[in-house]
Amino acid sequence: MTIYDLRPFYVPQALKIKLEPHEYENLITEIVLKPPGKTLQPEFFFSIPIFEFILIQIHQKMAVAKPFNFKKWIDDNRHLLKPPVGNQQVYKGNDDFIVMVVGGPNSRKDYHYDEGEEFFYQLEGDIILKIIEDGKPKDIEIKEGEIFLLPAKVPHSPRRPANTIGLVMERYRRPGEKDGFLWHCENCGEKLHEEYVELTDIVTQLPPIMERFWSNMDLRTCKSCGTVMEK
C-alpha cells in the first residue's frame, strides 16, 4: 500500500482517478475511504492534516500492456547498454520481477549474493558467469542463445565482454532481505571481504561499499596466499 496526499487531486464525483505523473502512467489507481462514515466532501479533504491521511489507501495494479518488439527495444536502447550505464529495466511499476537488459563490457570483480533465483538469457555474444560453489570459484559459460537459472543464495559475478547483451530476470526484494557483495582472491579463491545491506537505492548505496573495499589494502590482501587484488 502506498500513501499519497490526494488533496490537490480532489475530484468531487469520482471514486477513481488516474494520476498523470510519468512514473504512474501505467498504473490504475483506486481510492478507498475509511472509515465508511466519511464522505467525499471538500471540507473533509482540506480540514485534516496530512499525517492523518492514512485514511486514504491507494491500491495499485498494473494495466495490461501490449506486446512489443523486443529486438527493436534493444536497438532503441543500445546506446545505454554499455558503460557507464550498462543496463536498462524493461518493465517498471510491476510487482514481482525485475526484467532488465544488460550489456558489456563490465569490470567489476565482486560477487553478488541474492536471496532469490536469477534467470539469464544471453542474446548477443558469450559471457562467463563466475560463481562460488562449496566455497570455491567456478566458471559457467553462457553462450549466445543459451539460458541459465542461477539458484538462490549463490554468489555470482557476470563477466561481460564488449558487444554482449543479455536478458536478466530476478525478483524484487522482500522486506528484510539483504544483498551481499563479496570478493574472493583471484589466486587461491579465499574470501577476502563481504558486506551485506538491505538495498533501497543501489545508486547511492553501492559506491560506498566499493570504496571501502578498494581503498583498504588490508581487505584486498589475501590472508591465505598474500595476493593483493587490483582493479
Binding residue numbers for substrate: 118, 160, 170
- Binding-site residue set for Fe cation: 112, 118, 156, 185, 188, 222, 225
- Binding-site residue set for O2: 108
Taking only Cα atoms into account, the Rg of the chain, rounded to an integer number of angstroms, comes to 23
- Binding-site residue set: 108, 112, 118, 156, 160, 170, 185, 188, 222, 225
